[in-house]
Amino acid sequence: MLEKLAKLNRFLKIKFILYFVISSIFLLFFWYYLSIFGAVYKNTQFHLIGDTLISFGISLIYPFGLYLLPGLFRIPALFIRKNKGLLLYNISKILQMI
């Protein structure tokens, strides 16, 4: 049992190290690509930065709506004891899958 745990721990360490190395390489490549793009197309720098900020803001706000909607159905379903509660709970489960 301890041998399996040690082997799993070693495997996970290797996996995490590879993940961080590969993601760092990709980030450096993308940074280089964007800096070259900004140097070649000087008039698009403002639009590039604006679009990046808009995309980043939407990606921060989007999960709130995505995870709040099933919760709005599930909370009333806990307080209703009849078939309506079961229906609301099933609707929340379907919305959670989306």
8 Å CB contact between 70 and 92 = yes
Judgement on whether residues 53 and 96 belong to the same structural domain of the protein: yes
* Distance in angstroms (rounded) separating the CA atoms of residues 59 and 52: 11
8 Å CB contact between 96 and 69 = no
**Domain assignment of residue 64, given as a range:** 46-98
8 Å CB contact between 57 and 41 = no
Q: Domain total for the chain?
A: 2
Judgement on whether residues 52 and 36 belong to the same structural domain of the protein: no
pLDDT at 29 over 90: yes
What is the per-residue pLDDT across 34-46, written as a single tens digit (0 to 9) for each?
889 888 988 888 8
Query: Considering the entire predicted model, what is its pTM?
Result: 0.54
